[in-house]
């Protein structure tokens, strides 16, 4: 009976989301119900809650600030024309549609998503794909497939949440996720080839770009750490594939305006790497703050704001957009913390048949489709995944990593995100229900295949 009651916070959140309620409403309802269950069904000593909260609540603040500055940076860059400058550079140098698509899907979109998060990479990539000659439907689904590096989106708050709830080191989980993310990368590469139907040489270019991004993220996760790895892996694709384009065209396409467009990205990437190196040599509270993702996202915002005339209005609009997202994310994190700390997640995990851990990636996939983010999915289900791993006598690390990878890619199939991608593909007309349905079906198919593959891998190889 207790295990069934432990499910109710998640179920009420899911029901409200299915009824088209805002994610912050669903999250708050789940958090309030979870808190009520603590009082009557899962009593927990106050000392335990306080000790755990001291460690976890700063993480809620950090994630909220990452989302705030990430959304602000995206709006400032859009207002400054930075996105259009980058789009023009790709369009002018691309030797052909398939290879241009490879650069966008495995380079441009993952890079923008790693810097800003929350699906912003789609808003960058879809217009470029449309300008490259892709159809409306192709542009939308390919732009969504570019969300292949979501575990590192916005410098990895979702992965950070999963690590905290599972009691794992965040860089250790990032490395494990990087290894297992080979499966989503393979699935996405196959999907891109199937959609584009390129020549054999171009197909190899698409597959090579995906492999290059995966190897870059893996190497960075191993040597540097989780947070900047999505930026580094996708940047390697942009630099190497872009260099090949320049050699082929015998032109660089580099201009002062393009340099100003990418300057905030450069400040963020270089500053974060140097700060992390400083903190490793001189660990302290000050260097820890300086090495945090929100610090350098804020610095990038200051750089981007220099060339924006109406930066005050842009900032106000970004804050207004962030409020429901920040509240919803914080509430999901609070719900996940309550359920994990009080034993609710462990009770839910006992409902899964021992040894049947192939179902665990499906939990995060469903959570990501409903909430639209791997942070929300990880907040809801990481505790359950950890409990399921324990009951199956399997290490929690690969199970949580697989769930992280599954939920991250499944976020591309969130209905609001699909509708946004279709609308962006051709903003001159209203998105048709037929086009949205076509893209939604293929996004769900990719998410389902990915969850199945990851589940089978966990079941037989973990």
Q: Model confidence over 43-83: pLDDT tens digits?
A: 888 888 888 888 788 878 887 887 788 778 878 887 887 76
Both tokens of 198, joined, read 């390129």
With beta carbons less than 8 A apart as the criterion, state whether 101 and 142 touch.
Answer: yes
92 — phi, psi (to 5°)? -75, -25
Q: Say what the pLDDT of residue 355 is.
A: 65
Place of tokens 């052909």: 96
Nearest partner of 69 among 125, 118, 111, judged by Cα: 118
- Dihedral sign computed on CA atoms, order 254, 258, 263, 269: negative
Tell me the pLDDT tens digit for each residue of 269-280: 788 888 888 988
Residue 217: pLDDT over 60:
yes
Nearest partner of 96 among 169, 198, 190, judged by Cα: 198
Nearest partner of 418 among 433, 431, 436, judged by Cα: 436
Both tokens of 434, joined, read 């037929």
Residue 343: pLDDT over 90:
no
The set of residues, in sequence order, having a beta carbon less than 8 Å from that of 58 and lying 6+ positions away, is none
Q: At what angle do helices 396-410 and 374-391 cross, to 10 degrees?
A: 150
Tell me the pLDDT tens digit for each residue of 300-323: 889 989 888 888 888 888 888 788
With beta carbons less than 8 A apart as the criterion, state whether 155 and 114 touch.
Answer: yes
Both tokens of 126, joined, read 């879809």
pLDDT band at 218 (very low <50, low <70, confident <90, very high): very high
User: How much is the mean pLDDT over the chain?
Assistant: 86
Residue 346: pLDDT over 90:
no
pLDDT band at 426 (very low <50, low <70, confident <90, very high): low
**Count of C-beta atoms within a 10 Å radius of residue 55:** 10
End-to-end CA distance of the chain: 31
Both tokens of 179, joined, read 């290894």
d(Cα 24, Cα 452) in Å, to the nearest integer? 29
Tell me the pLDDT tens digit for each residue of 361-383: 998 998 888 777 888 888 888 98
d(Cα 306, Cα 177) in Å, to the nearest integer? 37
pLDDT band at 205 (very low <50, low <70, confident <90, very high): very high
Q: Say what the pLDDT of residue 354 is.
A: 64
Q: Say what the pLDDT of residue 383 is.
A: 86
Q: Say what the pLDDT of residue 118 is.
A: 66
* Mean local confidence (pLDDT), 255-275: 83
Range in 131-135, 184-188, 361-365, 437-441 the model is least confident about: 131-135
d(Cα 425, Cα 422) in Å, to the nearest integer? 5
Residue by residue, what is the 3-state secondary structure of the chain?
CHHHHHHHHHHHHHHHHHCCCCHHHHHHHHHHHHHHHHHHCCCCCHHHHHHHHHHHHHHHHHHHHHHHHHHHHHHHHHHHCHHHHHHHHHHHHCCCHHHHHHHHHHHHHHHHHHHHCCCHHHHHHHHHHHHCCCCHHHHHHHHHHCHHHHHHHHHCHHHHHHHHHHCCCHHHHHHHHHHHCHHHHHHHHHHHHHHHCCCHHHHHHHHHHHHHHHHHHHHHHHHCCCCCHHHHHHHHHHHHHHHHHHHHHCCCCCCHHHHHHHHHHHHHHHHHHHHHHHHHHCCCHHHHHHCCHHHHHHHHHHHHHCCCCCHHHHHHHHHHHHHHHHHHHHHHHHHHHHHHHCCHHHHHHCCCCCCCHHHHHHHHHHHHHHHCCHHHHHHHHHHHHHHHHHHCCCCHHHHHHHHHHHHHHHHHHCHHHHHHHHHHHCCCCCCCHHHHHHHHHHHHHHHHHHHHHHHHHHHHHC
Q: Say what the pLDDT of residue 455 is.
A: 94
Place of tokens 């037989």: 460
Domain definitions of the chain by residue range: 8-461
Both tokens of 229, joined, read 């790895």
d(Cα 416, Cα 452) in Å, to the nearest integer? 24
The secondary structure of 287-344 as a DSSP string is HHHHTSHHHHHHHHHHHHHTT-TTHHHHHHHHHHHHHHHHHHHHHHHHHHHHHHHTTH
d(Cα 177, Cα 152) in Å, to the nearest integer? 10
With beta carbons less than 8 A apart as the criterion, state whether 441 and 191 touch.
Answer: no
């Amino acid at each position: 009976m207790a295990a069934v009651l432990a499910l109710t916070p998640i179920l009420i959140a899911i029901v409200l989301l299915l009824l088209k309620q805002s994610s912050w409403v669903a999250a708050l309802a789940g958090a309030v119900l979870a808190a009520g269950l603590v009082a009557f069904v899962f009593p927990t000593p106050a000392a335990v809650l306080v000790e755990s909260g001291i460690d976890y609540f700063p993480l809620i603040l950090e994630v909220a600030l990452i989302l705030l500055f990430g959304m602000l940076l995206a709006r400032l860059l859009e207002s400054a024309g930075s996105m259009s400058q980058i789009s023009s550079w790709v369009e002018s140098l691309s030797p052909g549609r398939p290879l241009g698509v490879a650069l966008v899907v495995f380079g441009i979109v993952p890079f923008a998503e790693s810097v800003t998060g929350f699906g912003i990479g789609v808003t960058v990539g879809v217009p470029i794909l449309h300008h490259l000659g892709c159809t409306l439907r192709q542009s939308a689904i390919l732009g969504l497939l570019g969300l292949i590096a979501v575990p590192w989106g916005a410098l990895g708050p979702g992965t950070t949440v999963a690590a905290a709830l599972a009691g794992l080191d965040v860089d250790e989980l990032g490395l494990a996720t990087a290894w297992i993310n080979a499966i989503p990368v393979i699935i996405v590469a196959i999907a891109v080839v199937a959609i584009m139907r390129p020549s054999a040489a171009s197909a190899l270019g698409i597959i090579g770009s995906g492999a290059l991004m995966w190897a870059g993220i893996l190497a960075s996760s191993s040597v540097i750490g989780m947070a900047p790895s999505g930026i580094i892996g996708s940047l390697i694709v942009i630099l190497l594939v872009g260099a090949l384009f320049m050699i082929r065209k015998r032109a660089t396409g580099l201009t002062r305006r393009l340099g100003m467009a990418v300057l905030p990205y450069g400040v963020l990437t270089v500053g974060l790497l140097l700060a992390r190196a400083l903190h490793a040599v001189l660990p302290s509270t000050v260097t820890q703050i300086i090495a945090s993702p929100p610090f350098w996202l804020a610095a990038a915002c200051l750089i981007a704001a220099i060339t924006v005339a109406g930066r005050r209005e842009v900032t106000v609009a970004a804050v207004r957009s962030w409020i429901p997202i920040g509240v919803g994310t914080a509430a999901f994190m609070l719900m996940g913390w309550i359920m994990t700390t009080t034993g609710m997640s462990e009770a839910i995990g006992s409902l899964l048949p021992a040894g049947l851990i192939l179902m665990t990636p499906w939990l995060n996939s469903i959570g990501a489709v409903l909430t639209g983010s791997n942070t929300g999915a990880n907040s809801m289900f990481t505790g359950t995944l950890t409990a399921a791993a324990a009951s199956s006598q399997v290490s929690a690390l690969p199970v949580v990593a697989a769930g992280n990878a599954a939920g991250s890619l499944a976020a591309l199939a969130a209905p609001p995100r699909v509708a946004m991608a279709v609308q962006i593909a051709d903003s001159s007309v209203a998105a048709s229900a037929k086009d949205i349905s076509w893209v939604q079906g293929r996004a769900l198919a990719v998410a389902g295949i990915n969850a199945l593959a990851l589940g089978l891998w966990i079941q037989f190889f973990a």
